[in-house]
Amino acid sequence: MKSLHMTKSVGSLVLFTWALTYVHLTFASPTTPKGWKWYNELKAYPTAPKPVPTSLPSNTKTTVMSATQQMQWFHQAYEEVKADATINPQDEEKYLKLMQLNHFIGEKTAQTGMTFKKLLLKYPEYSYVKDRPVEQAARSTYHQQERQKKIDMVDKMKNEGWGFFFVYEGDDPLTQSLAPSMQQFADTYNIELLGVSNDGVFIDNIRQNRLNNDKVVVPFTPALLLVNPTTSEFKPLAYGFISQNDLLGRFYNVATNYQFPDF
C-alpha cells in the first residue's frame, strides 16, 4: 500500500515536471499563428520615386524683330548716344561711341550705294541715265528734244481751238509785273490770250482784256486757264506766278493728261 502511494507520488511529480517544462517552452518560444504572420514579418514597403526636378524657365527670351523694329531700336539707341555725348562733351568714351556709330552708318550707306550701282548693271531698265543723259553735250540735245515735244503739244492744242485766260487783279503790282511775260508767251507760240480782270482794272501789257463780272470763278489769282470756246471746256493751267518755261511744261501736262513726266 505504501509502495502504491509512492508510485503515484512519483508519477504526479513527473507529470508536473513535464507540464512545467512544456509551459516554459511554450511561453519562451511561442509559435507565431499563421493568421498574424504578415504582421510580424518585416516587409519592404514600396517607396515612391523621387520627383524629377523640372528646370526653371530661362530668364531671357529670344525674339526676332522685324526690319522696322530694328531700325526703330537703332534710331533710339543712336539718339541716346548722341544726346549723351552732347551733354558730356569732355567725356572721351561717350564721344567715341558716337564716332563709332557714325562710322558704322557711313559704312552701311556706302554699301547701299555700291549695291545700287551693281543692280543698275543687272537691271538697266531702272537706270535714270538710260533715258536722261548726264553728259553735258548729250544733255543739251536731250533738253532740246524735250522742249520741242512741249512746243509741238502747244501747236496741237492751238489747232484744236484752245486758247488761255489770264485772270487777275489789275491793281496788284506783282500781277502787273507778270503780265508782260504772259503776253510774250502767247506771241511766241501764236496762241490766243485773253486777260480777265476781277477788280475792273485792266493791265495794258495784255492786249485783249475783259471784265470778269463773276463769270469765271477761280480760287486764287493770278490764274491761268485753258479755254476751248468751241466746246466750252475749261482746264486750269497754273495759279500764282509762273515762268514761261514752266508754263510750257504745264501745257504739255494738261494736253497729255499728266501721263508722261517732263522732269
Average pLDDT, integer, range 171-181: 94
- Phi, psi angles (nearest 5°) of residue 210: -140, 155
Contact 235, 225 (CB under 8 A): yes
pLDDT at 102 over 80: yes
**Closest by alpha carbon to 247, among 187, 203, 182?**
182
Q: What is the pLDDT of residue 17?
A: 46
- C-alpha neighbours within 13 Å on the C-beta side of residue 47: 4
pLDDT 10s digits, 103-135? 999 999 999 999 999 999 999 999 988 888 888
Please give the mean pLDDT across all residues of the chain: 82
pLDDT-wise least confident of 31-40, 133-142, 207-216, 235-244: 31-40
Q: CB of 227 within 8 A of CB of 234?
A: yes
What percent of the chain is modeled with pLDDT above 90?
60
Reply yes or no on whether the pLDDT at 3 is more than 60: no
pLDDT computed for residue 64 by the predictor: 86
Does 200 have pLDDT greater than 60? Answer: yes
Q: What confidence category does residue 147 fall into, taking pLDDT thresholds of 50, 70 and 90? A: very high
CA distances from 181 to 91, 148, 227, 250 (A): 61, 20, 19, 15
DSSP tag of 135 = S
Taking the C-alpha atoms of residue 126 and residue 231, their distance in angstroms, rounded to an integer, is 41
The DSSP 8-state label assigned to residue 55 in this structure reads P
Q: Which helix (H) or strand (E) holds 19?
A: helix 2-28
Model pLDDT, residue 14: 41
> pLDDT value at position 55?
63
Per-residue pLDDT, 88: 95
Amino acid making up residue 162 = W
Residue 25: the pLDDT is 42
pLDDT at 167 over 50: yes
pLDDT level of residue 41 (50, 70, 90 thresholds) = low
Amino acid at 10: V
Give residue 159's pLDDT. Answer: 92
Q: What is the pLDDT of residue 84?
A: 96
Mean pLDDT of 84-103: 95
Determine what percent of the chain is predicted with pLDDT higher than 70: 76
Q: According to the model, what pLDDT value does residue 46 have?
A: 58
Q: At 214, which amino acid appears?
A: D
Instruction: Calculate mean pLDDT across residues 76-89.
Output: 95
Q: What is the mean pLDDT of residues 242-261?
A: 89
- Range from 18-27, 180-189, 229-238 that averages highest in pLDDT: 180-189
In angstroms, the first-to-last Cα distance of the chain is: 164
